[in-house]
Amino acid sequence: MNIRFIIQVAATAVLTFFATWYTLPVLKAKTPGLYGVIAGACGTYTKAVADVTGVDVAVVEEKINRAADTVEGKINETVKTTVELKEAVVEKVAEISAPEPAPQLSQQQAAPAPPKHETAPKHEPSTTVAAAVVVEEEPESFSDPDDPRSALNKDPGYDWGVVVTNSYFYDDNMKITGILRGGTVIERNGSIARNDGTVYRCYYLINREWSARTVNIYSRDLVTFMGKYEEANKEQRDIIIEYCELSGKLEELRAKLIEGLRARNPYATAYKNAQSERGDFDTNLRAMDERIAKAEGPERMELIEKRRIFYLRGNNSNQGYNEAKKRYDDWNAQNVNPNMKTADMLNIENRLKALKPKASAIVPGL
């Protein structure tokens, strides 16, 4: 028989015996029957070993117990090592799986400014959804910082001109809408031929901004030039604008002076009342004429008679108006001198005289 085989069988038997001996307490608790059979076999094995070796049974049992204790210690140590290794592996896996905490930024780093421009690579689709970056563009500037007469918004792009002195402007129905001061800059976009003169459709510059809509202004109230306002010669432009501004200001001061003098007229109230009565009379007379034009037959004849009576009575009112007006005008003629001037008016006239040669060289007859 092969010696190696015998040794392997003996070693297997010894290990089996030790394992069985170590697990006997567990079997005793859970399976008493099986425990009895195995315990008996172990006892027989121990006695046989003692008989073969000539060693006392107690000594054999002591050696077996000592060997079992050694095996138990090795098993416990292996189990402990295995548990510790498992815990270490679990802890390491947890560290790897946990997300890294966000770094704490300083107050200056907490809100970095977004880039002004971000352009994605061309022809390369991106799977990342990025937050939109709003880039505030500076508004386009139309004004010259060194030119106080430049416009703040875009030039309309038509031939420009200037209002010579304070003048009315009109809507599309040629109804007076307001007054443009002398020196107001305009750009004309088209014209309208009328029996009483040519009317230009104009944008106008006010508070350094071009109007959004056009108004109608008579050509006789303007001096006009070729080209856009923003392209005009600044020196000549400023001379004409200043000259017209002063002309309008002088006219305004003269009107205020005369109005103040006329307010002292003792016949002003009577004349104002007579004007109001005359206005009412004229309004009623026009309304009666309209009714007569639409009426027929007996109704028409009746309206004509009423108008005749109303007109005769109105003659008395008309006569009262004429008398009130005469007294008012006579007083003004004696007390209101249209050539009177204040100190401001004299200063403006002196400046106009200084500008006159330059202005006339640019616009003859101005």
Q: What percentage of the chain carries pLDDT values higher than 70?
A: 61
Q: Which of 81, 100, 131 is where one domain is finished?
A: 81
Query: Is residue 206 domain-resident?
Result: no
Q: Which of 24, 48, 81 is where one domain is finished?
A: 81
Average pLDDT of 50-58? 54
- Domain of 48, in residue numbers: 3-81
| Domain count across the chain | 2
Mean pLDDT of the chain: 76
CA dist list (Å): 245 to 106, 145, 184: 61, 22, 8
Query: Is residue 307 domain-resident?
Result: yes
pLDDT tens digits along 179-198: 999 999 999 999 999 999 99
State how far the Cα of 112 lies from the Cα of 47, in Å rounded to an integer. 88
pLDDT tens digits along 249-285: 999 999 999 999 999 999 999 999 998 988 888 899 9
State how far the Cα of 352 lies from the Cα of 164, in Å rounded to an integer. 13
Q: Which of 81, 114, 141 is where one domain is finished?
A: 81
pLDDT given for residue 58 in this prediction: 61
Q: What percentage of the chain carries pLDDT values higher than 90?
A: 50
Record the tokens describing residue 131, joined without a space: 């937050």
CB neighbour list of residue 247: distance below 8 Å, 6 or more residues apart: 164, 165, 182, 183, 352
State how far the Cα of 193 lies from the Cα of 176, in Å rounded to an integer. 17
User: For residue 67, is pLDDT > 90?
Assistant: no
Query: Is residue 194 domain-resident?
Result: no
Q: Give the global pTM.
A: 0.53
- DSSP of 326-346: HHHHHHHHHH--TT---HHHH
Query: Is residue 45 domain-resident?
Result: yes
pLDDT band per the 50, 70, 90 thresholds, residue 125: very low
Query: Is residue 153 domain-resident?
Result: no
Query: Is residue 175 domain-resident?
Result: no
Reduced DSSP (H G I as helix, E B as strand, rest coil) percent helix, strand, coil of the chain, to 5? 60, 10, 30
Nearest to 21 by CA among 43, 6, 53: 43
Query: Is residue 19 domain-resident?
Result: yes
Query: Is residue 349 domain-resident?
Result: yes
